[in-house]
Chains A and B, each alone.
Chain A
Amino acid sequence: MTVAAAGDALVRISRASFGYDGTPVLTEVDLTVHDRDFIGVVGPSGSGKTSLLRLLLGTERPQRGEVTRRPGLTVAYVPQLETVNWNFPVTVAECVLMGRTRRTLPWPSRAERTEVARVLDRLGIGDLGGRHIRELSGGQQQRMFIARALLRRPELLLMDEPTSGVDVASRHDMLHLLAELNDEGVAILITTHDLNGVAAHLPQLVALHGAVIAAGAPREVITPSVLERTFGAPMEVLQHLGMPVVLDHYDSPLHRRDTA
């Protein structure tokens, strides 16, 4: 990631270290998110992806280093589906309307109702506004949270594992939707563990494992040496139609037994 000039970045993390109860999670991390960036953060479980999101969001502060934001920056966050209480009594429209917190009156204004309907229509779930949130598929649930985020008209959209738990078709739709939003000027940063299905399709990647192992275009980050340092296991990388494809090279004892 290049270091931006002052005022050029939306958010800049500079030499930030962070941990819980004395256990370091992130060490000396540098990351800058510019206007219109579309960044994927890849790394195994426990590599510090969620902590990095928390630093970007401002819900956690680094113990060393600093995080600076462009004044007045509007950030929206889409959580992991696994963390949501799906038994909560809200309809899709009610959930999306949570993106509007400034109005004091409990009920939505006519303009808000129109805007919610427009955003839901745009995301292809316009006819589901009256449904309970649990009645949606994984892909539709993810779209609902994106709709809630868009209602805030964000300059930066942060998403935690947006394709986790959704089917292949929904994953493709999601990537197209995010690309569209990015084209419209929204900077996007997502975390993902899906190297082939998601990361390889993004313009910029950051490989994270407690520290930034590598950053740049997929071709520069999805390499055997970077992946081995990031995931702690050897991986083979092939090129297919100009895109890197990762093959898991793990030497399984089960496989050895089968082929013996």
Chain B
Amino acid sequence: MIAALLDPFHYVFFVKGLTVATLAGGLCGLIGVFVILRGMSYIGHGLSHAIFGGFAASSIVSINYYLGAGLWGLASALAISRVTRGRRIGADAAIGVITTASFALGVALLTIFGNKGPSFDAALFGSIIGVTAADVWALVGITAFTVAVVFANYRGLLFATFDPDVADVSGVRVARLDALLMLVLSLSILATLTIIGVTLVAATLVIPAVVARMLTNRFSRMLWLSTALGAVCGFVGMNLSYHLDVPSGTMIVLTGATLFAVVLMTTGGRRLQRTARLDPRPEAVTVAG
């Protein structure tokens, strides 16, 4: 039994994939906290599709995938953030318009010009086969950068996520922090796209953070808990992927979904209310003048 479980660790490609999946899970778990607390759960789904447009464009003009798709994703994220801050269009509508248009453009470009870069299927559904040493180092670099950004801007990010208007008048540079968060979000999706896939990356952003929110009422605890849960889902999901011969992204997401179901059942479902972004405050007596 133990020998069978350890069997895949003899393969370099698996160890590389496992490292990437664990790191990617932790990274998405960390960023996911800000995503769900800002009521932008849909952004992971949208941005991964937007980055697919950049994936196609960089493939056609033969420039580095990380550079091309990264710039494309960042431009999409900043466009979403800008449109949303204008308050005329909600975040969900802005994400829906900008990112699906970008995805459609990517599909059109690949159909017309053909794919010259990484596998189309890998980009859509994720694969550990194509993980290179460069991918691993890119992910390590992006993870270190993200942790540094969150650590150095912890107070500002917390305030701007809780109450951006008050943070803005209290000396927090909210617009700059929003842009920084969009940058690390784009980079995180970019680095995890080929292993988890366009269609599933959103779940790795949302599920660990939602589960962590159900388990704690403290922001600092939620950050490390979500990171740890994301990493565990990546590790377990990747092992299951090998043994069940199912795509890696699929098993990582299913592991997270199972964890969510277990926590939901053990906490009686009541804690799911915590994940609602806005909810009427506790009852209080209103006194008319």
Contact = CB atoms under 8 A, between A and B. Distances in A.
Interface of A: 57-59, 75-77, 79, 81-82, 84-91, 94-95, 97-107, 132, 134-139, 141, 152, 163-168, 171, 192-199, 246
Contacts of A100: 155
Interface residues of B, number: 42
B220 interface: yes
Contacts of A106: 151, 154-155, 220
Contact of A192 (B156, B169, B278, B289): B289
Given A89-B221, A139-B284, 15 more contacts: A79-B163, A85-B277, A86-B281, A89-B213, A89-B222, A98-B155, A101-B156, A101-B159, A102-B171, A105-B154, A164-B286, A168-B285, A171-B287, A194-B288, A194-B289
B219 interface: yes
Given A89-B274, A91-B217, A134-B281, A199 B155 contact: no
B284 A79 contact: no
Contacts of A94: 158, 218-220
Contact of B281 (A76, A84, A91, A104): A84
Given A86-B281, A89-B274, A132 B169 contact: no
Given A87-B277, A94-B219, A101-B156, A167 B285 contact: yes
A195 B289 contact: yes
A192 B286 CA distance: 13
Given A59-B169, A79-B163, A152-B170, A87 B155 contact: no
A132 B222 CA distance: 13
A197 to B, nearest CB: 5
Q: Main secondary structure on chain B at its contact with chain A?
A: helix
Contact of A163 (B162, B170, B287): B287
20 contacts: A57-B169, A77-B170, A79-B165, A84-B163, A87-B277, A88-B219, A89-B37, A89-B216, A89-B221, A89-B222, A89-B274, A98-B158, A103-B155, A107-B220, A132-B217, A164-B286, A165-B286, A168-B287, A192-B289, A196-B289
B222 to A, nearest CB: 5
A190 B166 CA distance: 16
B162 A58 contact: no
B276 interface: yes
B154 A166 contact: no
A87 B219 CA distance: 11
A67 B273 CA distance: 43
Interface string B153-197: 011101101110111111110000000000000000000000000
B275 interface: yes
B289 A199 contact: yes
A112 to B, nearest CB: 11
A57 B167 CA distance: 12
B284 A138 contact: yes
A85 B163 CA distance: 8
A106 B219 CA distance: 11
A181 B27 CA distance: 45
Contacts of A76: 170
B12 interface: no
Query: Max chain B CB contacts within 10 Å: which of A82, A85, A94, A168?
Result: A85
B281 A81 contact: yes
A198 B287 CA distance: 11
Contact of B218 (A90, A139, A199): A90
A68 to B, nearest CB: 17
B125 to A, nearest CB: 33
A71 B116 CA distance: 59
Interface string B267-279: 0000001111111
Given A86-B281, A87-B279, A198-B289, A98 B168 contact: no
Contact of A138 (B222, B277, B281): B281
B287 A166 contact: yes
B152 interface: yes
B85 to A, nearest CB: 12
